[in-house]
Every structure is written in structure tokens, then in C-alpha cells.
Structure 1
Amino acid sequence: MAFFRNVRVTLEMIKWEHSIFALPFALTGAMLAARGIPHAQQLAWIVVCMVTARSAAMAFNRWADADIDASNPRTAMRAIPAGLLSRGFVGGFTVVMAALFLVAASQLNRLTLILSPVVLLVVLSYSYMKRITRWSHVVLGIALGIAPSAAWIAVRGSLDPRIILLTAAVMLWVAGFDVLYSCQDVDHDRREGLFSVPSTFGVSGAFWIARLMHVAMLTLLLLLAHAFGLGAIAYAGIAAVALLLCYEHMIVSPGDLRRMNAAFFTMNGVISVLYFLFMAAALMLHK
């Protein structure tokens, strides 16, 4: 049936499997809040919130950027500009995912329900930021970075300032790798009048900004481990993340972006999962 084909193409378009980028950080936030493993029901609804919010954001981004994608050789074959999906279908999918997110948030606690429209506003607004500010990468970072704080609220029903350290770290991590990824589109962005760090500061300047963001991220992760009184396992996890980030920055350079997909998709997925595993071990063994 055409409907199921469209759903399949939509899931491929939004790369739903890349929910793994932020999900481990959300689970880390949940475990920090619970000082261990949260209730299964809480975990289940947190995962539903993460997947539906990201799906809504990605579908909305493809809907909002359809004309921009069509003008960019790198993205011209995405589902909407390629004619595989209509904007109406993608818009409808966005609405359904947003509605499911609100329902899932309502199953956690009162504060998650109250804040859920704010979360949607943040994750959806990124799609328009490249039209108005060179720092759109930071907005994307915030969209993913709120995951650990949101998960903390989901478990506790309140917010602890310490978890904001993890939110800020994720924000800088995402912003840094998005700066690198957008280096592929620097010529297109300048031609179309879109804003980005590479189109403003050049590719070499963008690489230095991304490096600084990732150094700041690692600093915040160290502060987080100290704030929660975690042990050597947590610090070992941060060291592993640092090594992987160094490798990520080594396999791409201002003059050679050919391995950008490996740096962006593969390495960042490994980083998020590895950090979660070390933090989970630290929390479980530190009791």
C-alpha cells in the first residue's frame, strides 16, 4: 500500500536510527536522577518521548527545507525534492509524531507535560535558524542537549542545576560536529544567503571553532563527574570520549571532507553509547 511505502520512506528520510545520538545522554540523565536504574515505565516513556520528538523535528526540518534541499546537489535526492514524498504527507507525519510526544510526556509527570510544548518549540525552531543566524548549530545543540535535563525531570519531577552541566556538554558536542558537517555546504550556503559558521568564518575557522566546542564539552563532563561524586570509571569514560573526539577530528580536515559521514554518523554514535555505558557502570558500582 502507498501509505506504508510512504511511512517507510519517511523513516528512511529522517534516519530514525540516529536517535541513538541523544538517547544515551537522556538515559544517562535518567540514571543520574535515579542514582541507578529508573522504573521500567519511566524508561519506556522517556524512550518514546525521545524517538517521537526527534522524528517530529527531523520530518519538520525536511518539510521546511524542501526548497533549500532541492537547490543543494548534496541533498537534492532527499525524499521531498526527489518527489518520493509530498510535503503534505511529511507535514502530517510531523503532526502525528508531535502529538505522540505530548501524550508520552503526559504519562511521566505534571512538569514534563507543562514543559512539553516548550520542548517542541525548541526542536522545531532549529529548522529556521540557518536563515537568521550563523549560530544555528548551537540551536541544534540545545535541541539535543535538553534531553538529559528532560529525562531528569521525567524521573524526579524537578530540575537539579547539576544536570545542566550535561545539557551544556551535549549542546557543545552537537554544535561542534554540526559545524564540521556544515563545512560540506559552505559554497551552497553562501550562494543561497544561508548562515553558518563555515560560511562566515571559512572552513579552517570552522574547524577551530568545533575543536574549541569539543574541548569545552570535555571540561563540562569532568565538572559533571565531580559534581555527582562519581569515581574513576566515569573519568575513564570521559578519557575514552576524548580519544574518540580526537580521532574524529583527525579523519577529516579543512582540505579533505571525504570521511565526514564516518566522523558524523559512526563516531558520534559510538561516543554517545560509550559514554552512557561508562556512566551507567560508574553509577551502579558507586552505590
Structure 2
Amino acid sequence: MHQATSTFSPPAIWRRLVLTLDMIKFEHSVFALPFALTGALLGWRSIGYPLDGMAAKLAWIVVAMVGARSAAMAFNRVLDADIDARNPRTKARHIPAGLLSRTFAWGFIAATSAVFLLAAGMLNPLCFRLAPVALGVVFFYSWTKRFTPLSHVVLGFALGIAPAASWIAMTGSLNPRILWLTAAVTLWTAGFDIIYSCQDYDFDQREGLFSLPAKLGLANALIVARFFHLAMIGCLVLLALSLGGGISSWLGIGVVAALLLYEHSLVHANDFSRVDAAFFTVNGWVGMLFFGFWAFDILSAMPGLHLLGN
């Protein structure tokens, strides 16, 4: 009886929640969130910068993003637990190592999915109707590595729908022009996921898992990653042209291009010792700096706001 009480006591539940947030790398929400917020600000600009309800919408967008990503990451960890246990790189993850139970993880998935659905409902009816589709997309990714080397692209699309969803949250409808940002985020994510998955080249081949490095080899996979990132820059250029980006937006694209060049300079087919810097550090800056430049451009054009000192 004492053990049951301690297991379900608030400190024990809090400890497992903290472990779960560590398991899903909660802090990496920074990857897609800046692009989602960029989509929201672009949508806000498109409807004339209404201030009524703006803060609340942004808050619910953040809640929806964090909820969806948290549910998806926890789902991935549960589904891959047996695979992770056999992989020397991932066998210390929380579920294979016995730090968290699958039951608790499933409860976390249910709770964060409910938070996402609530946030979508608070935004507008179209967001709520599309919310189950979005959850289906982010959950579906976890199966793809079992049957297609294009799993990296599916992961990219799971993040790429965020800016389009944020546009819908702000405007209540979808404008095809925002899909250039969806395409850019899809290609960006697919590219850096290919780089990261190169670490598991030997394991993926031995286990018969599908990844582009396992399919094409390390050198060719890195070439594909470079192509994806080059195509990402092309999509950002088309986004700026279609939505009338200003000087700051173009500078933001240039900064992203420079960061991606640096990222690819860190990894080589025979040296992945700096892959964590390429994956975590550089890509975190890509999202935040892109948002900073584009947000400045959007806000500086807001009627009555003179950020540029004109």
C-alpha cells in the first residue's frame, strides 16, 4: 500500500512528467515554433493587423504547437521503444532504460493530444475540423521508417504544416501563398533529419530500417540533404516574392542560407563528430533568426508603428 501511494503521489507524478519532457526533448519545440509564428504574423498582416484578440490567438497557437509536438514525440518514443533498446545510441532513452513506463507515456500522449484539440477549438472552427488530420500526420511519421526511405520528408511535412495551420488560425482560411513556407520547412527538416540519421547508418542497415543514408550511402545522403536545403532557400525566395517581403525578410533568407552552409561544413561522410552542433545548435538559430527578421519586416509595416524610424 505504501508503494502504491508513493507511486501516485504528486512528487512521483511530477518526477515522471519531468522525465517525459526530457524524453521528448521539450526544449526542441524551438525548431518549428518560429516558423509557425511567422505564418501567424503573415496571416495577421494579410487581414489588416487587427489587434482584437491577437494576443489570445498567438497564445493558443503556441499551446497548439507545443501540444501537438509533445504528443507526436512521445508517440514516437513509445512506438520505437523496442528498436531504441537494440540501438547502442538510443538504448539509454527513458522507456528502454526503464525510467518511464509505456502506460505513463500513453497517458501523456492522450493529455497533450487533448490540449492540442482544445487549443485548435479555441482558435476557429476550421482549425478544430483540421486538428485530427494534423494529429494523424504527426503520428503517421513514426511508422514510415519501417517502409519508406522518404520518412525524412514525412517528418518534414509534419513540421511544415505548422505555418499553414497558423495562417488558418489567424485568418480562418488558407491562402496558397503560405504553402511556400510549408514547403520550405518541409525541406529544411527533411535535410537536417537526413544528416542526423547518418549516425544510425550501420544500425539501420542491420535492422532493415528505411532511411536515405541506409538506402543511398552516407555520401549520397548528404548530397540529398544539401539539395533539400538549397530547395528550401528557393521556396523562401518564392515566399518573399509572393507575399511582398521587405529588406528585412530578404536579409533573413540570407542569414538562413549562411547558417545552412555552415551546418553542412560541420559534417562529412567520414566524420560526424560535430553532428550535434549541426543538428541542435545551428537549426535552433535558423528558426529563431528567420522569425526575428521576418517579424521585424511584418511589424515595421504595421500602420501607426514606425520601427524603422521613418
TM-score interval, normalised by the smaller of the two chains = over 0.9
Identical residues among aligned pairs (%): 57
Residue of 1, 8, 21 corresponding to 2:18? 8
Aligned with 2:113 (options 94, 98, 106): 98
Separation in structure 2 between the aligned mates of residue 18 and residue 102 of structure 1, nearest angstrom:
21
Residues 1-287 of structure 1 correspond to what in structure 2 (within 5 A)? 1-35=11-45, 39-287=54-302
Distance 1:92 1:258, change over 3 A: same
Where does structure 1 differ by over 6 angstroms across 4 or more consecutive aligned residues? none
Query: What SS does the aligned partner of 1:77 have?
Result: coil
CA distance in 2, matches of 1:51, 1:222: 28
Tell me the distance in 2 between the aligned counterparts of 1:37 and 1:264. Answer: 37
Between the aligned partners of 1:276 and 1:146, the Cα distance in structure 2 is 16
Separation in structure 2 between the aligned mates of residue 232 and residue 101 of structure 1, nearest angstrom = 35
Query: What do you get for the CA RMSD once the two structures are aligned?
Result: 0.9
State the alpha-carbon separation in 2 of the partners of residues 248 and 227 from structure 1: 28
Amino acid at match of 1:6: R
Q: Secondary structure at the match of 1:162?
A: helix
Q: 2: CA distance between counterparts of 1:233 and 1:85?
A: 45
* Aligned equivalents of 1:230, 1:59: Cα separation in 2: 37
Partners of 1:284 and 1:254 in 2: how far apart?
42
Question: Contact 1:29–1:163 at 8 Å: present in 2 too?
Answer: yes
The number of equivalent residue pairs is: 287
Using the size of structure 1 for normalisation, the TM-score is 0.99
Kept after mapping to 2: 8 A contact 1:52/1:100: yes
Residue 41 to residue 214, structure 1, CA distance change in 2 (3 Å): same
Unaligned runs of 5+ in 2: 1-10, 303-310
In 1, Cα distance between the equivalents of 2:63 and 2:299?
A: 24
Q: What SS does the aligned partner of 2:217 have?
A: helix
Structure 1 unaligned regions, length at least 5: none
- Whether the 8 Å CA contact 1:231–1:286 is kept in 2: the answer is no
